[in-house]
Structure 1
Amino acid sequence: MENMIHSTPSHTFLPDCFVFPPDQVPPATSAVVSLPIIDMSRSRDEVINHGISEQTMQDMVAVGEEFFRLPAGDKLDLYSEDINKATRLFSGTTYETGGERYWRDCLRFAYDFPVGNSTKDWPDKPQRLREVVENFTLLTRGLAMELLRLLCEGMGLPLDYFEGELSGGYVTLDINQYPPCPNPSVTLGLPPHCDKDLMAILLPGQVPGLEVAYKGDWIKVEPVPYAFVINFGQQLEVVTNGMLKSIEHRVMTNSALARTSVAMFIAPTEDCLIGPAEEFLSKENPPCYRALRFRDFKRIYNVVKLGSSVNLRTNLRNIQKEI
């Protein structure tokens, strides 16, 4: 628990373990981008009119912030550096590789959909945390599945293509806390990466920090009130044989304001074999990715640098020796 960043009221200097060489923290361009907005009231990137109430979104952020304000003793039993533990509190994550540390605290939940048995391991403080998190998780998962059905309709896949094993793994929900940082220019909240799952639904909060890679630059994302940011995961890129790209993104810190974000991830089951769908293959368009079971993909995700779309395409052609 001594590693928790948010537990210290103020930080006057940045420990060396959080400092990166300048080439690993290139500044973003001065441009601020508004992501394309999807208005789901008309179809029923950023999604508005999605059917999840503003109150539900406010409650989710509020209960997360309330948790991080709890006394250290109320959080002690949750703290763990075991990356295989489903529900845990951790800090300065090493991102499962290397020794770098990032300016982020995270409370992570796992939800066994549709059974929900995993909630017994969830913290019981604050009092309404379990109810708020479970409600938010179920609603955002429903939104993700609706978006996947719309993608299927647009791409010519069966509408239920992503039902079952492709989306049947544990739903993971992260409440991220990025405390004020004494020197944001030399550190990161999260490193450049692509999400390894199928899809992520992000409630980014109103304090800027999210940046996306675009044409060799980093672009700051302008928050839109009560809008979700949708991140396509690498499994969606594999299934579509590269038609839909998993966008590389990172999180920067802020010297004056704390930032709270909430991310929900849809993942395949561990045994799910994932490769390009036949609908995207032809003689002129051969498979760009090798089929892998999701557990094997996760195991080698960092070992062979699958964290970006370019490395994903390069390495999944010749990865059998790593399994």
Structure 2
Amino acid sequence: MKEDKHSRWFELEYVPEDYIFSKEDRPQNLDRSVCYSVPVIDLENPKAAIGQSQPVEEILKASEEFGFFQVINHGIPEKTVNDAMSVLKEFFDMQSKDTAGIIPHKKGYIYTSSTDFVKNGVHLWRENIKHPCHPLEECIHLWPDNPIRYQEVIAAYLVEIQKLSSRILEMICEGLELKQGYFKDKSEVQLLSSNFYPPCPDPSLTLGILPHHDPSFITLLYQGGSTGLQVMKDGQWVNVGANPNAFVVNIGNQLEIISNRKLKSIEHRVVTSTHETRLSIATFVNPSPDCIIEPAKHLVNDLEPSLYTASQYKDYVHRNNAFGDYTTAIQNALRSES
């Protein structure tokens, strides 16, 4: 391909060496990956008909068995979601980047195509913007000024995400038979991370995101019907079915700890495609920094003793580098066997 000053870093006919993972880290058998649809739960009617499962029951079952589920009829206006996806596409399409694909970040936001989330010097096949979200009114000024409507559109999106995440946590609270409002003063939408995954000449050599667990209570992901998300299920990577109107919800490490491992934080990753561009928005619903995270006393007894030691969330994050790609933090939180 003829290079020019307007070319983007990924507009290549080959995968550069510093994007090629070692053989043990590369995605295997992409053409034969199992297509799998995690449970899709309809939130429109909170009380199902007699003889049918209630949404609370469905959420709890999915969280126990898969650690992932999708929600539809979630109440977030379609325009709000479309506007957020549109403004993020505008952001990633901006031309004011240096040769590495980085927009100078005069403020507190991060934007990169190749400088974070690396392993052994190998970069991920993605571009990423990440910024804090709580308290919303104190964080907006840290966000990009361009596109001009970015701050307004993303703020409106996050207001709706906060409502949905609170609703889902209340349903999980009900399913675990915890005291009503257990998560009310403990959870905040603290971080937004949006990823742009361009087409890749050879997806078998690289990754969009490394295998990892989320350090959150829950993570809400909008992927606009695009594929690429994979979860570890029964010892193999399986593709999560793409539903253009759904939010993917996954259980994070903190909720696994509170549930005393009744709910599962599952390893997941993102693979690339030769022809499809993927744009996603992940929002992490985390505990407040000083919150003590430990198994809920209601779920601990002589037959089911506590599996985790108590820890302030901020100490957990510091100890486990919990906003990087990591796979061992949840195991580190387990009580040592005596």
- Which bin holds the TM-score, normalised by the shorter protein? 0.7 to 0.9
Residue from 69, 74, 77 that aligns with 2:104:
77
Separation in structure 2 between the aligned mates of residue 159 and residue 301 of structure 1, nearest angstrom: 30
Residue from 38, 42, 46 that aligns with 2:45:
42
Q: Give the alignment's Cα RMSD to 1 decimal.
A: 2.5
In structure 2, the partner of 1:108 is 130
Q: Find runs of 4+ consecutive structure 1 residues off by over 6 angstroms.
A: none
Amino acid at match of 2:134: D
Assess if the C-alpha contact under 8 Å between 1:290 and 1:317 holds in 2.
Answer: yes
TM-score normalised by the chain length of structure 2: 0.83
Gap change, CA 1:175 and 1:160, over 3 Å in 2: same
Separation in structure 2 between the aligned mates of residue 229 and residue 241 of structure 1, nearest angstrom: 23
Gap change, CA 1:239 and 1:160, over 3 Å in 2: same
Assess if the C-alpha contact under 8 Å between 2:255 and 2:263 holds in 1.
Answer: yes
Provide, for residues 101-149 of structure 1, a one-character-per-residue CA deviation record: whole Å limited to 9, x for no partner: 2111111121123x52110111121121111100111101210110000
TM-score normalised by the chain length of structure 1: 0.87
Provide, for residues 192-249 of structure 1, a one-character-per-residue CA deviation record: whole Å limited to 9, x for no partner: 1110111110001222110010000000112112100001110000000000101111
In structure 2, the partner of 1:13 is 14
Separation in structure 1 between the aligned mates of residue 122 and residue 82 of structure 2, nearest angstrom: 32
Residue from 167, 186, 211 that aligns with 2:187:
167
In structure 1, the partner of 2:121 is 99
Identity of aligned residues (%): 34
Residue from 308, 317, 328 that aligns with 1:289:
308
Gap change, CA 1:232 and 1:93, over 3 Å in 2: farther
In structure 2, the partner of 1:149 is 170
Tell me the CA shift for residue 175 of structure 1: 1.5
SS at 1:134 equivalent: helix
Residues 146-295 of structure 1 mapped to structure 2, 5 A cutoff: 146-164=167-185, 166-168=186-188, 171-295=190-314
Separation in structure 2 between the aligned mates of residue 147 and residue 119 of structure 1, nearest angstrom: 25
Separation in structure 2 between the aligned mates of residue 70 and residue 307 of structure 1, nearest angstrom: 30
In structure 1, the partner of 2:92 is 68
Is 1:126 the equivalent of 2:126?
no
Amino acid at match of 1:38: I
Tell me the CA shift for residue 86 of structure 1: 5.1
Count of equivalent residues: 304
In structure 1, the partner of 2:4 is none
Assess if the C-alpha contact under 8 Å between 1:202 and 1:229 holds in 2.
Answer: yes
Gap change, CA 1:278 and 1:9, over 3 Å in 2: closer
Residue from 59, 77, 84 that aligns with 1:53:
77
Assess if the C-alpha contact under 8 Å between 2:226 and 2:244 holds in 1.
Answer: no
Provide, for residues 143-165 of structure 1, a one-character-per-residue CA deviation record: whole Å limited to 9, x for no partner: 0110000111111101211121x
Gap change, CA 1:96 and 1:272, over 3 Å in 2: farther
Amino acid at match of 1:47: V
Separation in structure 1 between the aligned mates of residue 10 and residue 211 of structure 2, nearest angstrom: 28
Tell me the CA shift for residue 302 of structure 1: 5.0
Provide, for residues 293-318 of structure 1, a one-character-per-residue CA deviation record: whole Å limited to 9, x for no partner: 11221123259x9944x762465324
Assess if the C-alpha contact under 8 Å between 1:109 and 1:172 holds in 2.
Answer: yes
In structure 1, the partner of 2:62 is none
Assess if the C-alpha contact under 8 Å between 1:196 and 1:307 holds in 2.
Answer: no
